[in-house]
Amino acid sequence: MRTPVVVIGAGQAGLAMSHHLTGRGIDHVVLDRGEVAQTWRTERWDSLRLLTPNWMTRLPGYRYEGSDPDGFMTKNETVAFLDEYRRSFGAPVQTNVTVEKVCRRPLGFEVRTDQGTWVCDAVVAATGASSEPYIPALATELPDRFHQLDALQYRNPCQLGAGEVLVVGASASGAQIADELQRSGRQVTLAVGDHVRLPRLHRDRDIHWWMDVIGQLDERYDEVEDLNRARRLPSLQLVGSPERRTLDLNALIASGVGVVGKLMRVSGSKAQFSGGLTNLVGNADLKQNRLLDRIDEFATEHGLDETLPKPTRPPATALPAIPTEMELSRFDTVVWATGYRPKYSWLDPAAFDDRGRLAHDGGVCSLPGLYLLGIPFLRRRKSSFLDGVGPDAGELASHLHAFLDRRVHVWPSPGAAGVGIRSRAVDPEVHSGSGR
């Protein structure tokens, strides 16, 4: 099978790219191992809602137009939204196709799947940033009796026994899961590492509204001081809820969650936690207030102070006495909410640098014709948001279009002995042989 472009993954990123390619009249196919929005269907807990309000649900050529712009979409609503998006422009999605290998060929790429092989000029990897959970190595040191699950496996409290739970990680996933389990009547201890704290509402407006209007979400990858750091930043400690409530450590502590530092070691019968939590919460408070200061300055400069409530600051995080050691015997379950990693094991090794990282500049991979989309801060701070992938997809589609225009195509000469030559110029990269 031949096509100019194969997009891998039919989530928000793959569909946004498909929309742009469709608009440019570029033939392509979108492959997904499951259905549209597969991860939202199968790898998200039941109560999860988007962290951004409905009005911010904007994809290229499509946006939320329902009656609750300030609400937060449930998991099922998000699936339905992406399904409708696919239908809105007839995205050429092929579902239940698992990509096994993407190999560079002298011309273009070969995409091997469990349903046959595609040959194409360009590949867009849009499989997302959360393909697998990141679980620290010390998980293997826990006694066998422990029920361990990660945030991709967690669905609801009914999966767990009634005993005490250790939730490791306090970004959006860990904070939300700890909150839900504590409300279910279980005693939860939350191990807290580096985290980013923000109030859901500031001066009656959603924090994402502010981050959007002050331009923070549009900050570009080629403008930030330390891109690696920006890309590694943990997700915001937020929850999308009908009450628009704030979920921070103060709220969790008030609901009875026990808070400890980062889980550092399992030593005999004990779990040891970092004694550095006071610094981390102080840092999170400082960073929160710095952003709120920036927001309030913006509000004053733009004459918004008249119409908005006076600025306030959320109370500083107040930690009770924090143990640095706990007996493991008190816990039945450990939930790992220690982050996610993208998975590119199916990609040609030539796409990676010496240190095994996928080499790219804002999604334009060093391997010509390969593109990456839908990971944190790919091209702007909002890159991994449903609201942020569209502009990235537009820029990469433009680059991809130019790339197709100036190279030798492997299509469309079905049945022909060789490859179809359609281009005006030849991209020297393509003819340079097998490289490494």
Q: CB nearer to another protein: give 268 or 414.
A: 268
Residue 136 binding another protein, by CB under 8 A: no
178-211 burial by CB neighbour count: b if 16+ within 10 A, else e?
bbbbbeeebebbbbbbebbbbbbbbbebbbbbbb
Among 162, 286, 402, 426, binds another protein (CB under 8 A): 286
**Contact 334/146 with Cβ under 8 angstroms?**
yes
- Number of residues engaging another protein in binding (CB under 8 A): 15
Among 42, 96, 156, 279, binds another protein (CB under 8 A): 279
Question: Which of these ranges, 21-29, 62-70, 145-153, 284-292, lies near another protein under the rule CB under 8 A?
Answer: 284-292
Q: Report the nearest approach of another protein to the CB of residue 322 (Å).
A: 9
- CB-based contacts of 2: which residues, under 8 Å, 6+ apart? 118, 119, 120, 410, 411, 412, 414
Q: Report the nearest approach of another protein to the CB of residue 325 (Å).
A: 8
d(CA 126, CA 365): 13
The two tokens of residue 251 are: 């709220």
Residue 272 binding another protein, by CB under 8 A: yes
- CB-based contacts of 404: which residues, under 8 Å, 6+ apart? 4, 5, 26, 121, 122
For residue 29, which of 101, 107, 117, 100 has the smallest C-alpha distance? 117
For residue 203, which of 59, 310, 91 has the smallest C-alpha distance? 310
Among 57, 78, 235, 274, binds another protein (CB under 8 A): 274
343 HSE (CA, 13 A, CB side): 12
Residue 359 binding another protein, by CB under 8 A: no
Question: Which of these ranges, 37-45, 77-85, 285-293, 303-311, lies near another protein under the rule CB under 8 A?
Answer: 285-293
Question: Which of these ranges, 16-24, 214-222, 239-247, 277-285, lies near another protein under the rule CB under 8 A?
Answer: 277-285
Q: CB nearer to another protein: give 83 or 194.
A: 194
Helix (H), strand (E), coil (C) string for 371-424: EECCCCCCCECCCCCCCCHHHHHHHHHHHHHHHHHCCCCCCCCCCCCCCCCCCC
d(CA 173, CA 167): 10
Among 92, 136, 276, 342, binds another protein (CB under 8 A): 276
Q: Is the peptide bond before 428 cis (omega within 30 degrees of 0)?
A: no
d(CA 380, CA 109): 28
In single-letter form, the type of residue at position 375 comes to: I
**Contact 354/213 with Cβ under 8 angstroms?**
no
Residue 283 binding another protein, by CB under 8 A: yes
Q: CB nearer to another protein: give 74 or 283.
A: 283
Q: CB nearer to another protein: give 264 or 358.
A: 264
Q: Report the nearest approach of another protein to the CB of residue 177 (Å).
A: 24
Question: Which of these ranges, 111-119, 245-253, 283-291, 398-406, lies near another protein under the rule CB under 8 A?
Answer: 283-291
Question: Which of these ranges, 281-289, 344-352, 374-382, 421-429, lies near another protein under the rule CB under 8 A?
Answer: 281-289
Q: Report the nearest approach of another protein to the CB of residue 402 (Å).
A: 32
How is the chain split among helix, strand and coil, in percent rounded to 5? Answer: 30, 25, 50
Site string for another protein, 230-269 (x = CB under 8 A): -------------------------------xx-xx-x--
Residue 275 binding another protein, by CB under 8 A: yes
Q: Report the nearest approach of another protein to the CB of residue 290 (Å).
A: 7
Among 155, 290, 341, 406, binds another protein (CB under 8 A): 290
Q: Report the nearest approach of another protein to the CB of residue 265 (Å).
A: 5
Q: Report the nearest approach of another protein to the CB of residue 157 (Å).
A: 31
d(CA 21, CA 4): 10
Q: Is 320 helix (H, G, I), strand (E, B) or coil?
A: coil
Q: CB nearer to another protein: give 159 or 279.
A: 279
Q: Report the nearest approach of another protein to the CB of residue 226 (Å).
A: 11
Residue 338 binding another protein, by CB under 8 A: no
User: Sign (positive/negative) of CA torsion 313, 319, 324, 328?
Assistant: negative
Residue 180, H or E segment: helix 172-183
Q: Report the nearest approach of another protein to the CB of residue 189 (Å).
A: 18
Residue 93, H or E segment: strand 93-94
Among 47, 74, 184, 289, binds another protein (CB under 8 A): 289
The two tokens of residue 420 are: 């179809």
Question: Which of these ranges, 40-48, 234-242, 271-279, 388-396, lies near another protein under the rule CB under 8 A?
Answer: 271-279
d(CA 161, CA 230): 38
Which residues form the interface with another protein (CB under 8 A)? 261-262, 264-265, 267, 272, 274-276, 279, 282-283, 286, 289-290
